Amino acid sequence: LIKHTKDTEDTQHAKYRAMATTQLLPSLSARLGILQLNNPSSLNALTLEMIRSMTPTLATWQKAGAIRATLMVGSPYERKGKMKPAFCAGGDVKACYHAGLSKDESESQLTADFFREEYQLNYMIAMQPPHIPQVSIWDGVVMGGGVGLSIHGKYRVATENCLFAMPETRIGLFPDVGGTWWIPRIKLYSQWKNKNVLGGVGVYLALTGARLKADDLMYAGIATHYCRSENLEDLRRALVEATSDGDETAAFDDCAASVLMSFHDHSIDIDSSFLSRNRHEIDFAFDGKDSVEEIIDSLESMGDSDFGQSTLKTLRQMSPTSMKVTLEGLKRGALASDIGEALKMEYRMSQAFMQQGSDFYEGIRSVLVDKDGEPKWNPTSLQDVTDESVDRYFKELGDRELNFAESGTPKL
C-alpha cells in the first residue's frame, strides 16, 4: 500500500511537471522557498496550471529538506502607467464557468480537476510542518483562492494596501478553499465560544463578502502581522538571512517568528477598524443565528441603522441558495475534526454548484461575462430554498470523493 501511494504521487508529480508555467515563479534564496504568483493581468488569479506547478515544487522542497520557510508573494500589475500591488484575486472561476457549459467532456472535466487539485494544494499548505512556516505577504487584493493559498499557512502579513474578501455568495458559490474550517474558528470567538455556535463576524464575512482592510484583519486575528509596504524588501532580505543561519539543530526551529515580529508595525489602530466599530451590530445580527431568515429579521429589527440597512441591501443581492448552503457549510465545518474533513465536504459542495442550472453560472455571467450586475437567481427568495435542496449540496460522491493520498502531501 505504501509503495502504491508513492507510485501514485510520483505519477501525479510527473503530470504536474509538464504543466510548468510562467504564471508561477518559484525560486530558492538560501533556504527560503519563494513562490511568486505571476498572473498580473488577472491580479494573479489562480489557474490550474499554477496549481500544477506549485504542488510538485512544494513537495520537492519539503521532501528534500531544502527549505526552512516558504514565502508567497504576488507580482504587481500595471494600471495607468503605475505599478500596483496584488496578491491573488481568487481562483480562475471564469474558466470553470466555460468548462461547465461545454459539451466537450474533456473540457468539462476542468470543473472537477480544478477544485480537486486546488483543495489538495490547500491541504498540503495546511500540513506544512510548523518549523517550516509559510509567510504570505498580503499586499493588494486577497480574495477567494488567494485566501486559500495563504490562510492555512502559519503567518499572514498584511500591508496598508491589503483588500481581503471571500465574495463567493455574489457569484452563486460559497466561501471554499477551507473557508468552512477557518471562518468558524476566527480568534475573536475561540476563547469563549463552543464549537457548536458560530461567531457573528465569521458569518457576516461569509454571507456578505465584506471587504476588509489590514486593521480589520489584525482585529479579527485573520492576519498575524502588519508591515508597511515600504519595508517589504527589507523583510524579504531578513527572511533569507534567517533561513541561512543556524546549525542542524536549528533546522527544527521557526526561523521566521522573530523576524516577522521585528517588522511588525504596532502603530496600527485596530480599535478604529470597521469590524471593531460595528462589532455590536454584527454580533446582534449574525451571532449564533440558525438560519439566514433569522439574520434578515435581526437586521430589519435595527430600523434605520446604517449598518443594518447597508447589510440588508448587500444580502439581497446575493444568491439565496448560496447563502443558505454557506451557513449550513459553516455549521458543519465548525464540527469537523480537521481541515481535511472540511475540504472533503467542500469538494462535494463545489461539485453540486458545478452542475448546469446552478446559481454559479448565473453569478459568473452577471459579474465576469456579461458584467450587467443583474443575476437572475433560481430560486429568487430564501423561503423557496428548501432544507432538502440545501442537503443535496452535501451529498457524498462515491468514487469521486476528494482524496489526499494523491495530493503530494509530504510524509515528514
- Which residues are marked as active site? 91, 145, 168, 176
**Helices 292-300 & 200-208, crossing angle to 10 degrees?**
100
Over the Cα atoms of the chain, what is R_g?
21
| Residues 311, 285: Cα–Cα separation, whole Å | 10
Cell numbers standing for residue 140: 493588494
Residues 6+ apart with CB under 8 A from 272: 215
Give the residue carrying C-alpha cell 489590514. Answer: 214
The DSSP secondary-structure symbol of 46 reads B
Is residue 58 packed enough to be buried (19+ CB in 10 Å), middle (13-18) or exposed (0-12)? Answer: buried
Interior/surface letters 164-186, b for 16+ CB within 10 angstroms, e for the rest: bbbbbbbbbbbbbbbbbbbbbbb
Residue type, 344: K
| Residues 346, 321: Cα–Cα separation, whole Å | 15
